[in-house]
Amino acid sequence: MNRNRKKAAAATLAAGMAVVLGAGTVMAAASTGDNGLQKEETVYVNTTAGGEVTDVTVSDWLKNSGDSSNSEVKDASDLQDIKNVKGDETFTQNGNDLTWSTDGKDIYYQGKTEKNLPVSVGIKYYMDGTEVSPEALAGKTGHLKMEVTYTNTSKTTKTVNGKKTDIYSPFVMVTGMILSTDNFSNITVDNGKVISDGSRNVVVGFGMPGMKESLDMSSDIADEVNIPEGFTVEADVTDCEMNSTFTVALTDIFKDIDLNDVDGLDELKDSMKDLTDAAVKLVDGTKDLYDGTNKLNDKYKEFYDGIGTLKSGVSDLNDGAKELDDGAKELSSGAQTLNTGAQTLNSGVSSYTAGADTLSDGIKQYTAGVDTLDSKMAEYEAGMKSLSDGVNAYVAGGNQLAGGVQSYVTGTTTLTDGMQQYIAGVNQLAGGVGQYAGGIKSLVDGIGQVVPGIDTAVNGIQTAVEKMTALSSKIDANQIANFSDSMTAYTTGVSDYTSAVGQYIESVEQLASGLSQLESSLENMGASTASEIEESANAMSGQLNDSAETMNSQADAIESWISDSAEASVDASSVDAGVAAVSSQLEAAESALYNIDTSNMDDETAAAVEAAIDGALGSIQAAEDSASNIDTSTITASAPDTSALQSAADALRASASSAESTADAQEEAVNSSVEQMKQQLQALTQGMKTVQETVSQLNAGAKELTSNDGTLKASGTQLAQSGTQIATVVNQMSTLFTGLGQQLPEMLQGIDQLKAGSDQLTTANKSLQSGYESLAKASTEQMISGADTLLSSGKTLTDGIAQLQGENNVNAQTLLKGAKTLKSARKSLTSGMSQINSATGQITSGVETLASNSGTLYSGADQLSSNSSTLNSGASKLASGTQTLVSGAQTLASGTGSLVSGTQTLMDGADKLSDGSDQLKDGISDLNDGAKELNKGQKKFYKEGIKKLDDTVNGDLQDILDRFEVIQSDDVMYTTFTDKSGDMDGNVKFIFESDPIEISDDEK
């Protein structure tokens, strides 16, 4: 099957060259003979790979023979084994003369000949510079050069401008080769063109053998005007194998140039100018073509880069989708953790608010105690004033006592000294006793005044100390300091909590912003990606639908002929014409099938389309074989068997239907994938909206939770300030009481000493008063009597004074020492009272501060208690919102999972699109290179052909015109190969087919 397809492709190539280069033949054939008859000959020549002729078959078409008024047509031919190939018309033969019974139809017949050909094709092969035979070339690898040479042996001696010269029949010969890219690379050709479709290279070369000699151009013109008589192909080859080469030789190429209408040289020059202008336009056209293909190549590179960007973007999208999926899972896990934390926070807030209520109650009790302390401070100050006054009175009495004692000691000394005088004078004794009695009374009165003051002072001091001791035992400075530290820590905690809630709100807002941006990106990405995929799918579907439309039109043409054949009367000539038309349609259908490009399709679609193509080609081949085997010579009254043609038409329609189904399926699959992707994106967007709504609820809850943060924070700050002030006062009190506690033992010891001395003084005062009373009861006379007795008993009195003073006046010294001790105790007592008075001022100030701030502390406790319900409500809403967030995060995780699956499918499609784009890019690049080469060739054609021809026309024109006239003459033009009737116009073309170069089965 592969070999048949290669041969079919080669046949298509040869037919295409014949149609393109034989266009002039068709145009010229419009001029027919006097009787309207024309003989079209096609000579099929089979040769070896080197060009040696092995077989010649000639097909003749007597055109317009069916329009003859006579039922017979006279013809001439030297063919052997003549047979009618498209009808049952018969002929009679007399030598080379033939008479055909036409029955109103054209005649198609075929025969064999061994006569020499007017033209031939020779091919020489060189492998790495050494000539090799075609048989030895098979399977070789190296650098191959092929020299194709055309030879023209058909010439006539004519007189041109009075000079006899050989004029060759004009032939234009074109050779086509199909070289597989699997075996050939780096192909070049000198007089021709190389065209590549990616899987094979088509090489076309041309030449005009004998033309250079016929025109007999001067050496200068010949050097400038290149009229090739062959071409050379070079290539690098691996395991050399070649299909057959095809060469077409045309005979009427110059009939299009009508020199009869050129009236003189000036008109010819004008015509040449028109030809030059047309050539310039052709150059410009090829330039525009190259510019267009170059632009297409450049733009497609941008498109190709865009596909690469798309592929990269789809890959990034897939990676991003995976990251988003991972992030969604982490978000779901984090939301669950957040929910657990929110529940814990809710529980903690409940505990916090309960503790806040307890704290509020404690603060209220504390402020009540402070108020009580403040109300008792007046009594405390009054007692301290009494204590101070008593101490001052005690100090004054002590001073008086000390002074009295000193006076007493001095008086005693004086008394002792005076007693000597007293004893000496009785009169002085009586006066002295009176004075003594008065002094004793004054002393007793003074002592009576001092002793109560001392008792009062001692009792006041003892009462003050007892109150301070009781106050010190009631006020625990450490507890108050701890309370101050707790208030400071509480204020710091409130501030930290408010800051953390603010950060949480910012995070929620950032999350909402990020989700909004993600949603927008997904929408834009989904729209652009879906649009690009739909455009690519529509382009590939359009190509398949175009191919299907072409195949359906070919099937319609075949079935139309079949229908016409069934309805028409059986006529051999019409059958022949119909078979020819069908053959033409089959060839067109075959060409359409070969033109279907599957390079941009995915592997599965391309395989299905190629299988359908193979099936259709098989049916077309069978139809062609059937059509060529139809023998109209045996037709009598039955129509030809068209079942094979109907099978071909059915196969074409099946292939077209398969292509359309493939296009529809591909478009439907892509649309389904795009729709699925859109749905997934829509679901993801919905999930994103759910998360955004949840975040909005969380944001609102958090804002409501923190709506009283300002008041709470202010209250906390105020509480902290109050606590700090309280702590300061308490610290001062603690310091005061600490110092007081350190001094209390000494004060208590001094008070004990004072109390003991006071008791002694009280006892002595009682004795003194009792003695004074006893002394007062005794009359002055008794004192006087006693004085007399003392006077009379001076020695006894002196002894009593001595006893009073003690040995060495020790009693007086002891009394003076006690007086000094009393004075020194006065200093300590005065200093202690100063400290007590100073501490009393501080205590009063601290208590006033406590009292002034207790209202603020009480208000702060109320605010703390009132905000507890708001805090509990916000914490509850936060816990509920996090539960909604958990649900939304789970929905998001599910949507991202679907998105990952969709983006993976999209990435697979982008990979296939990229692969197809690579092939298309290469094809466009090849097309651009071909257009570039065509433009260069056309420029070269203009420069080396038309331009030089124009120069020649404007130079040695007349001789060339004369030679062209001779070349176009009937004597020189080659119109038949096998002979023809004199009243017929003729046209002939030669088709050469060489043997392929193949590796034998033994060598494989």
Q: Residue by residue, what is the 3-state secondary structure of 551-602? A: HHHHHHHHHHHHHHHHHCCCCHHHHHHHHHHHHHHHHHHHHHHHCCCCCCCC
Closest of 133, 236, 145 to residue 186, by C-alpha: 236
Q: What is the pLDDT of residue 15?
A: 42
Element (H, E) at 230: strand 230-237
Q: Which residue has the higher pLDDT, 528 or 343?
A: 343
Q: What is the pLDDT of residue 315?
A: 83
Q: What is the pLDDT of residue 60?
A: 96
- In this structure, are residues 172 and 150 in contact, taking their beta carbons and an 8 Å threshold? no
Q: Which residue has the higher pLDDT, 126 or 452?
A: 126
Q: What is the pLDDT of residue 808?
A: 67
Q: Which residue has the higher pLDDT, 612 or 497?
A: 612
- Is the torsion defined by CA of 106, 109, 113, 117 positive or negative? positive
Q: Average pLDDT, whole number, for the chain?
A: 72
Of the listed ranges 392-401, 678-687, 919-928, the least confidently predicted one is: 678-687
Distances (CA, A) of 516 to 326, 686, 696: 19, 12, 12
Residue 347 lies in a domain: no
Distance CA 833, CA 663 (A): 116
Residue for token pair 């729709």: 675
pLDDT bracket for residue 238 (50, 70, 90):
very high
Q: Give the mean pLDDT of 314-325.
A: 82
Q: What is the pLDDT of residue 115?
A: 94
> Is pLDDT at 1 greater than 60 in this prediction?
no
Q: What is the pLDDT of residue 460?
A: 57
Q: Give the mean pLDDT of 95-118.
A: 92
Distance CA 618, CA 627 (A): 14
> Is pLDDT at 423 greater than 50 in this prediction?
yes
Q: What is the pLDDT of residue 375?
A: 76
Encoded tokens for 78: 């030297």
What backbone phi and psi angles, to 5 degrees, belong to 68?
Answer: -65, 140
pLDDT bracket for residue 601 (50, 70, 90):
low
Element (H, E) at 734: helix 709-777
Give the distance, in angstroms, between the CA of residue 821 and the centroid of all CA atoms in the same chain: 100
Closest of 774, 794, 782, 788 to residue 430, by C-alpha: 788
Q: What is the pLDDT of residue 848?
A: 73
Closest of 325, 950, 335 to residue 691, by C-alpha: 335
Residue 679 lies in a domain: no
Q: Give the mean pLDDT of 245-249.
A: 96
Q: What is the pLDDT of residue 577?
A: 62
Encoded tokens for 258: 């009508």
Q: What is the pLDDT of residue 172?
A: 94
Query: What tens digit of pLDDT does each residue of 867-923 get?
Result: 777 777 777 777 788 878 778 877 877 888 787 888 888 788 778 777 777 777 777
pLDDT bracket for residue 635 (50, 70, 90):
very low
Which range is most confident: 312-316, 493-497, 634-638, 656-660? Answer: 312-316
> Is pLDDT at 177 greater than 90 in this prediction?
yes
Distance CA 37, CA 27 (A): 15
Distance CA 893, CA 110 (A): 80
Of the listed ranges 56-60, 244-248, 548-552, 906-910, the least confidently predicted one is: 548-552
> Is pLDDT at 49 greater than 70 in this prediction?
yes
Of the listed ranges 229-238, 445-454, 657-666, the least confidently predicted one is: 445-454
Residue 181 lies in a domain: yes
Q: What is the pLDDT of residue 197?
A: 83
Q: Give the mean pLDDT of 368-390.
A: 75
**CB proximity list for 49: less than 8 A, separation 6 or greater:** 123, 134, 135, 242, 994, 995, 996, 997
Count of structural domains, the chain: 1
Residue 597 lies in a domain: no
> Is pLDDT at 247 greater than 60 in this prediction?
yes
Residue 541 lies in a domain: no
Q: What is the pLDDT of residue 456?
A: 63
- In this structure, are residues 988 and 977 in contact, taking their beta carbons and an 8 Å threshold? yes
Q: Which residue has the higher pLDDT, 562 or 47?
A: 47
Distance CA 359, CA 148 (A): 114
Residue 155 lies in a domain: yes
Distance CA 892, CA 328 (A): 6
Q: Give the mean pLDDT of 19-25.
A: 41
Distance CA 203, CA 191 (A): 10
> Is pLDDT at 230 greater than 90 in this prediction?
yes
Which range is most confident: 200-214, 663-677, 814-828? Answer: 200-214
Of the listed ranges 263-267, 378-382, 964-968, the least confidently predicted one is: 263-267
Query: What tens digit of pLDDT does each residue of 932-943 get?
Result: 777 777 777 777
Q: What is the pLDDT of residue 442?
A: 59
Beta-sheet pairing, 985-994 with 38-47: parallel
Give the distance, in angstroms, between the CA of residue 39 and the centroid of all CA atoms in the same chain: 73
Domain encompassing residue 223: 2-34+41-63+115-257+968-994
Q: What is the pLDDT of residue 773?
A: 60
Q: What is the pLDDT of residue 34?
A: 55
Q: In this structure, what DSSP letter does residue 256 have?
A: G
Query: What tens digit of pLDDT does each residue of 765-823 get?
Result: 666 566 556 555 554 555 556 556 655 656 665 676 666 666 667 766 776 677 677 66
Q: What is the pLDDT of residue 29?
A: 40
Encoded tokens for 338: 């957040």
Helices 810-941 and 643-705, interaxial angle, to 10°? Answer: 160
The one-letter amino acid at 883: Q
Percent of the chain with pLDDT over 90: 18
Residue for token pair 């020492």: 817
Residue 950 lies in a domain: no
Q: Give the mean pLDDT of 974-1001.
A: 91
- In this structure, are residues 649 and 555 in contact, taking their beta carbons and an 8 Å threshold? yes
Q: In this structure, what DSSP letter does residue 242 have?
A: B
Which range is most confident: 219-223, 226-230, 284-288? Answer: 226-230
pLDDT bracket for residue 48 (50, 70, 90):
very high
Encoded tokens for 421: 């005088």
The one-letter amino acid at 120: S
Helix (H, G, I), strand (E, B) or coil at 29: coil
Burial 163-183 (b: 16+ CB within 10 A, else e): eebebbbbbbbbbbbbbeeeb
What backbone phi and psi angles, to 5 degrees, belong to 77?
Answer: -165, 140
Closest of 144, 76, 46 to residue 975, by C-alpha: 76
What are all long-range contacts of 293-302, with beta carbons under 8 Å and residues at least 24 apart?
Answer: 293/924, 293/927, 293/928, 293/930, 293/931, 293/932, 294/928, 294/931, 294/932, 296/924, 296/927, 296/928, 297/924, 297/925, 297/927, 297/928, 300/920, 300/921, 300/924, 301/921
Q: What is the pLDDT of residue 8?
A: 46
Region of 603 on the Ramachandran plot (φ > 0 left; ψ -120 to 50 alpha; else beta): alpha
- In this structure, are residues 987 and 28 in contact, taking their beta carbons and an 8 Å threshold? yes
> Is pLDDT at 30 greater than 60 in this prediction?
no
Distance CA 754, CA 200 (A): 136
Distances (CA, A) of 1000 to 88, 126, 136: 43, 20, 11
Q: What is the dihedral of CA 920, 921, 923, 925, to 10 degrees?
A: 160
Q: What is the pLDDT of residue 198?
A: 82
Distance CA 712, CA 982 (A): 126
Length of the chain measured in residues: 1004
Q: What is the pLDDT of residue 538?
A: 64
Beta-sheet pairing, 97-101 with 184-189: unpaired
Encoded tokens for 486: 């707790």
pLDDT bracket for residue 35 (50, 70, 90):
low
Strand order through the sheet with 985-994: 80-84, 107-112, 53-63, 38-47, 985-994, 246-250, 172-180, 200-207, 192-196
Q: What is the pLDDT of residue 740?
A: 53
Of the listed ranges 68-77, 212-221, 577-586, 958-967, the least confidently predicted one is: 577-586
Percent of the chain with pLDDT over 70: 50
Q: Give the mean pLDDT of 562-572.
A: 54
Distance CA 640, CA 452 (A): 168
Q: What is the pLDDT of residue 14?
A: 47
Q: Which residue has the higher pLDDT, 613 or 564?
A: 613
Encoded tokens for 777: 């009861």
Q: In this structure, what DSSP letter does residue 946 have?
A: I
- In this structure, are residues 234 and 148 in contact, taking their beta carbons and an 8 Å threshold? no
Q: What is the pLDDT of residue 480?
A: 52
Q: What is the pLDDT of residue 645?
A: 60
Residue 652 lies in a domain: no
